[in-house]
Homo-oligomer: A and B are copies of this chain.
Amino acid sequence: MHDETPLNEITCGGFEAGGMHAGIKSADFKDLGLLISRKPVHVAGLFTRNQVQAAPVVLSRQRVAAGSCRAIVANSGNANCAIGPQGLAAAREMTRRTAECLGVAEDEVLVASTGVIGQPLPMAVITRALPEMVRRVRPDGFMDFARAIMTTDTVPKLVVRNGDLDGSPFRLVGMAKGAGMIQPDMATMLAFVCTDAGAQPDILKAMLARGVNRTLNRITIDGDTSTNDSIFLMASGASRARIATKAQTARFQEVLDDLLLELAKLLVKDGEGATKLAEIRVVGAVCNSDAHQVAMTVANSPLVKTALFGEDANWGRVLAAAGRAGIAFDPEQASISFADEVIFKNGRWSGQAVESRVTKIIRRPEFTITINLHRGDGQDTVYTSDFSVEYVRINADYRS
């Protein structure tokens, strides 16, 4: 169930949030965010699988294992990554200072950072801002937090879902930042999901892993994954809703997946320079993992992505990308559709009439490309953006 409350008035029982400009970024943008609970909440986290892991990832991964926390402090403008041992010291210092201001234990505070790699975190700036940051958290401060974690994102990403468990209503509030380096395994994505439902950490962890696998691991912008990816799921138990039985877990999972899919799509739509959201659906594969492999290869093909930008229904590039995915299939048996128009079938083009209709479909901001391999029942869907001139401009100029 969607919520009608304006996003900047959204609350989620047990949580407070906020964001401010501390001075990490040179411009007057928010760059420091804080998410807290007055009582310990249960928490689960998932982190990047990149061999290079930023200091906040290393620290939060350790601490989240305890299964509960009181706060997450986050910053944009600096990834606190690849700066040697001082990186971990800075991440620790950031949580220690936050803990002091909140009057809680240091290891009850988690941390997430995003931004440029290889430059020391400006700790003095953060330390100076933290007391004010703590004063600014409010029950309806989620939008400020969402703004504080933005990097090249053009819009803050805040999604709300309501549900109920055995008659007890619950709410989920999710915030994410993405924009670049987005590919499975979560990319430079920071995401924070709060719920007022109650659940044990092991249940939270299992639900988060399932949900991410179905949603955020199914999107790609440029095939790059980052050193800082982190997603947290926190459950305050402030509502009466409880997730304990199999049925309750299934019900909550449905709402969680819906929220995560919405966040995932928002990330792709706001991909750097993106003008299109394409759903790449592969069906008829021998198994689901074959389908995934083909879908990801098509979704990451620069030639497919530039054709999407050019609004060119270039099914030849889709076919050629599918063909190099390393999965056996017979092109003579395969078909390719844009929305429900089959443009390629029985080894050949469907002709000018279909092409004209497909050319209209590809002008839409969102559409589905379906590749049917006609070999079995395996299927998978991934979401991708186009590759635009703007993508290159943004990424050629990022540090300068």
Contacts and interface: CB of A to CB of B under 8 A. Distances in A.
B400 A181 contact: no
A224 B303 contact: yes
Contacts of A387: 302, 392
Contact of A398 (B227, B312, B389, B397): B312
Interface string A207-242: 000000000000000111111000000000000000
A392 B388 contact: yes
A51 B309 contact: no
A392 to B, nearest CB: 5
A328 B83 contact: no
A342 interface: no
Given A116-B316, A117-B316, A396-B307, A302 B224 contact: yes
A348 B83 contact: yes
Contact of A301 (B224, B301, B388): B224
Interface residues of A, number: 67
A298 to B, nearest CB: 10
Contact of A397 (B79, B181, B310, B393): B310
A379 interface: no
B118 A315 contact: yes
A280 to B, nearest CB: 15
B316 A118 contact: yes
Contact of A316 (B82, B310, B319): B82
Contacts of A151: none
B302 A222 contact: yes
A363 to B, nearest CB: 13
Interface in A68-95: 79, 81-85, 87
Given A303-B180, A400-B310, A118 B392 contact: no
A206 interface: no
Contact of A347 (B84, B310, B392, B400): B84
A331 interface: yes
B180 A328 contact: no
A294 B105 CA distance: 41
A324 interface: yes
Most buried by B among A116, A180, A317, A321: A317
A361 B330 CA distance: 47
Nearest to A50: B323
A348 to B, nearest CB: 4
Contacts of A224: 301-303, 317, 320-321, 324
A396 B312 contact: yes
A367 interface: no
Contact of A399 (B312, B347, B393): B312
A332 to B, nearest CB: 8
A320 B117 contact: yes
Interface of A: 49-53, 79, 81-85, 87, 116-119, 180-181, 185, 222-227, 300-303, 306-307, 309-310, 312, 314-317, 319-325, 327-329, 331-332, 344, 346-349, 387-389, 391-393, 395-400
Nearest 4 A-B pairs (CB), nearest first? A310-B396, A117-B316, A52-B323, A306-B395
